[in-house]
C-alpha cells in the first residue's frame, strides 16, 4: 500500500463512523447509510491527493455525502414517505408510547429540510456554511430550518425544540 | 423545558446499537479504484467520440491516437493454458465488466466460443455477446465478415501501439449487434464484442434493452490478453463451477 493510500485509510477509519451516523440521520436506514458512506469515501479516495492538500477533508466529505444523499433522493423519490399519511395533530401528552421518536419524525420531513436540520443542529454548522454546502442562500437556510423545526414540533406534539439562528 | 435537537438525537441514537461498520474503508477503496478506471474510460470515450464525429463529417480515413502499449502475458507455470470453454469465457467477461448485476448467460451450441450475458448497471438489463476465434477460421472471423458485409458506419481499423487493430461498426438496423467492436490481435486472435440494443429473442421478438458499454469500454474488455482459444486453467475451472450448464444462444 502506498503512503497516500495509507494516509487515506487512516483518515477514512477515523471519519467513517461519524459520516455514517450523519448519513443515518439523513436517510434513517443503516444499510443505506453504509452505502452513502462508502460512496462518499470512494469519491474522496479518487481525488485524495488533491483533497489532502485542502485544509479540511471533513468539510469536503460532508459536501460529498450531502450530494450523494440528495442525488439518491432525486433518483428514488418513492423512498420518501408520503406526507399526507402522517398525522398533523399533536400526539396526546398522556400517551407517550404513541409519539414518534425524533428520528422517526425526521423521516417525515422533506429531504432538503432534513439536510438543513442535520447540518445545522447535528453537525453544528453555521447558516453560511450550510448555505454554501447546499448551494442556497442564507435566508433559505433560515426559512427551511424554521419550516423543518415547525413540522417536527407538530409531528412530535411538543414545543420544546429550540430554534437557533 | 428547552431541549436541544442535537442532544435528543444523540440520546435516540444511543438507544439502539449501530450495526458493525465492517470493511467499509476497504470497500470504499475498491469502489474508488473502479471510479478512477471509469473516469479514464469516459475521458477516452470523449476522445473517441470526437474522432468518430469527425470521421462522419469528412467520410475519410480515421486515425486514432494509439492506446497505451499492452503486453500479452503468457500463462504462468502455476496456471497453465487449457482449451477455452464458454463458461471460462463468461467468467473472464464478468470480471472485466463495470459494476452491475449479470444474468441471461448463454453460449453457442456445441462449445463454440461465443457467450452472452445481460448486464444491469441500474438502467435495466442490456445484452452483450463476446466471440473469440482465430483469424479466418473462428466464429469471430465469421462474425467479422458478416458485420463488415452488413453495412452501417465503420470506424477503423485503427492500429494500436500494441499492434492490435480495432474496428468499431455501428449497425442501426441490427439491434443484436447495434455496436460491434472487433479487436484483431497480432497473434491472430480476434475478439468481437457485440453491444446490443435489445435482449435475446424471447420467442416472439427481441425486447429493447440499453447499450450497457461504450465502444471504448468494449475495447478495454477485448484488450485483455487472456482472451483466446486457450484460457488459464483457473478461469476454466471457475467457469465449470459457476456455469456447469449454459443455455443455447437464442
pLDDT in tens, B136-161: 544 444 445 555 555 567 777 788 88
Peptide bond into A138 cis (omega under 30): no
What CATH number did the domain enclosing A144 receive? 1.10.10.10
Report the 10 Å Cβ neighbour count for A100.
Answer: 17
> Maximum Cα–Cα distance for chain A, whole Å?
60
Distance of CA A106 to the CA centre of its chain: 10
Q: Please check whether residues A112 and A32 belong to one and the same domain.
A: no
Q: Please check whether residues A152 and A110 belong to one and the same domain.
A: yes
Of A30, A103, A160, Cβ closest to residue B3: A160
Q: Please check whether residues A75 and A146 belong to one and the same domain.
A: no
Which uninterrupted H or E stretch holds A70? helix A57-75
Q: Is this prediction's pTM over 0.80?
A: no
> Cβ contacts (< 8 Å) between A121 and chain B: which residues?
4-6, 9
Task: Report how far residue A144's alpha carbon sits from residue A134's, in angstroms, rounded to the nearest whole number.
Answer: 12
The pLDDT score that the predictor gives to residue A163 is: 46
Q: Please check whether residues A80 and A113 belong to one and the same domain.
A: no
Name the residue among B9, B248, B222, B210 with its Cα closest to residue B105: B248
Task: Report how far residue B93's alpha carbon sits from residue A31's, in angstroms, rounded to the nearest whole number.
Answer: 29
Please count the residues of chain A: 165
Buried b (16+ CB within 10 A) or exposed e, A6-41: eebbebbeebbeebbbbbbbbbbeeebbbbbbbbbb
Task: State how far the alpha carbon of B209 is from the alpha carbons of A17, A137, B118, in Å.
Answer: 40, 42, 9
Q: Please check whether residues A2 and A22 belong to one and the same domain.
A: yes
Distance of CA B225 to the CA centre of its chain: 14
Beta-carbon separation of A45 and B8 below 8 A: no
Q: Please check whether residues A52 and A26 belong to one and the same domain.
A: yes
Q: Please check whether residues A73 and A19 belong to one and the same domain.
A: yes
Task: Report how far residue B247's alpha carbon sits from residue A129's, in angstroms, rounded to the nearest whole number.
Answer: 57
Q: Please check whether residues A11 and A60 belong to one and the same domain.
A: yes
pLDDT in tens, B103-134: 999 998 776 789 999 999 888 999 999 998 87
Domain boundaries, chain B: 22-63, 81-242
Of B1, B27, B36, Cβ closest to residue A38: B27
What ipTM was predicted for this assembly? 0.79
Task: Report how far residue B236's alpha carbon sits from residue B84's, in angstroms, rounded to the nearest whole number.
Answer: 7
Q: Are B196 and B174 in contact (CB under 8 A)?
A: no
Long-range contacts of the stretch B240-245 (C-beta < 8 A, 24+) = B240/B85, B240/B87, B240/B88, B242/B87, B242/B90, B242/B91, B243/B86, B243/B87, B243/B90, B243/B91, B243/B105, B244/B87
The answer to whether B40 faces chain A, any CB pair under 8 Å, is no
Name the residue among B97, B94, B144, B127 with its Cα closest to residue B201: B127
Q: Please check whether residues A163 and A136 belong to one and the same domain.
A: yes
The pLDDT score that the predictor gives to residue B56 is: 34
- Shortest Cα distance, chain B CAs vs residue A24, angstroms: 10
The pLDDT score that the predictor gives to residue B86 is: 93
Choose one of A86, A121, A137: the last residue of a domain.
A86
- Shortest Cα distance, chain B CAs vs residue A83, angstroms: 21
Q: Are B163 and B185 in contact (CB under 8 A)?
A: yes
Choose one of A63, A86, A109: the last residue of a domain.
A86
pLDDT in tens, A119-160: 998 888 899 999 988 888 999 999 999 888 888 888 777 545
> How do the residues of chain A divide into helix, strand and coil, expressed in percent and rounded to 5?
70, 0, 25
**Which of the residues in chain B have pLDDT under 70?**
1-3, 38-77, 111, 135-152
Q: Please check whether residues A34 and A111 belong to one and the same domain.
A: no
Q: Please check whether residues A99 and A164 belong to one and the same domain.
A: yes
Domain count, chain A: 2
Residue A61 domain boundaries: 1-86
Q: Are B178 and B172 in contact (CB under 8 A)?
A: yes
Half-sphere exposure of A112 (CA within 13 A, CB side): 12
Beta-carbon separation of B18 and A30 below 8 A: yes
Amino acid at each position: 500500500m502506498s503512503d497516500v493510500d495509507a494516509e487515506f485509510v487512516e483518515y477514512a477509519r477515523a471519519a467513517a463512523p461519524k459520516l455514517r451516523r450523519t448519513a443515518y440521520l439523513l436517510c434513517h436506514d443503516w444499510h443505506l447509510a453504509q452505502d452513502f458512506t462508502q460512496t462518499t469515501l470512494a469519491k474522496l479516495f479518487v481525488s485524495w491527493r488533491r483533497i489532502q492538500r485542502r485544509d479540511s477533508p471533513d468539510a469536503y466529505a460532508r459536501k460529498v455525502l450531502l450530494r450523494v444523499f440528495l442525488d439518491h433522493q432525486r433518483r428514488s423519490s418513492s423512498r420518501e414517505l408520503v406526507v399526507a399519511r402522517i398525522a398533523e395533530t399533536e400526539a396526546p401528552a398522556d400517551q407517550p408510547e404513541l409519539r414518534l421518536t425524533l428520528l422517526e419524525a425526521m423521516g417525515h420531513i422533506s429531504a432538503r429540510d432534513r439536510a438543513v436540520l442535520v447540518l445545522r443542529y447535528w453537525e453544528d454548522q453555521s447558516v453560511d456554511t450550510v448555505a454554501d454546502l447546499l448551494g442556497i442562500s442564507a435566508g433559505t437556510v433560515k426559512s427551511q430550518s424554521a419550516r423543518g423545526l415547525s413540522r417536527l414540533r407538530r409531528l412530535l406534539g411538543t414545543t420544546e425544540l429550540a430554534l437557533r439562528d | 423545558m428547552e431541549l436541544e435537537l442535537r442532544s435528543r438525537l444523540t440520546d435516540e441514537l444511543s438507544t439502539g446499537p449501530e450495526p458493525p461498520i465492517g470493511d467499509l474503508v476497504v470497500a470504499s477503496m475498491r469502489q474508488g479504484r473502479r471510479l478512477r478506471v471509469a473516469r479514464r474510460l469516459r475521458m477516452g470515450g470523449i476522445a473517441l467520440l470526437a474522432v468518430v464525429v469527425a470521421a462522419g463529417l469528412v467520410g475519410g480515413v480515421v486515425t486514432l491516437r494509439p492506446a497505451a502499449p499492452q503486453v500479452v502475458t503468457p500463462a504462468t507455470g502455476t496456471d497453465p493454458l487449457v482449451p477455452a470453454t464458454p463458461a471460462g469465457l463468461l467468467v473472464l467477461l464478468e470480471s472485466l465488466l463495470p459494476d452491475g448485476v449479470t444474468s441471461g448467460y448463454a453460449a453457442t451450441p456445441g462449445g463454440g466460443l461465443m457467450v452472452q450475458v445481460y448486464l444491469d448497471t441500474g438502467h435495466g438489463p442490456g445484452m452483450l455477446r463476446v466471440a473469440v476465434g482465430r483469424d479466418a477460421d473462428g466464429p469471430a472471423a465469421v462474425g467479422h465478415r458478416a458485420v463488415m458485409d452488413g453495412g452501417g458506419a465503420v470506424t477503423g481499423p485503427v492500429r494500436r501501439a500494441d499492434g492490435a487493430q480495432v474496428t468499431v461498426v455501428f449497425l442501426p438496423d441490427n439491434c443484436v449487434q447495434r455496436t460491434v467492436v472487433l479487436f484483431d490481435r497480432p497473434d491472430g486472435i480476434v475478439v468481437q464484442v457485440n453491444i446490443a440494443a435489445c435482449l435475446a429473442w424471447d420467442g416472439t421478438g427481441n425486447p429493447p434493452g440499453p447499450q450497457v458499454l461504450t465502444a471504448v469500454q468494449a475495447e478495454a474488455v477485448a484488450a485483455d490478453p487472456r482472451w483466446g482459444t486457450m484460457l488459464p486453467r483457473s478461469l476454466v475451472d471457475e467457469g465449470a463451477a459457476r456455469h456447469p450448464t449454459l443455455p443455447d444462444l437464442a
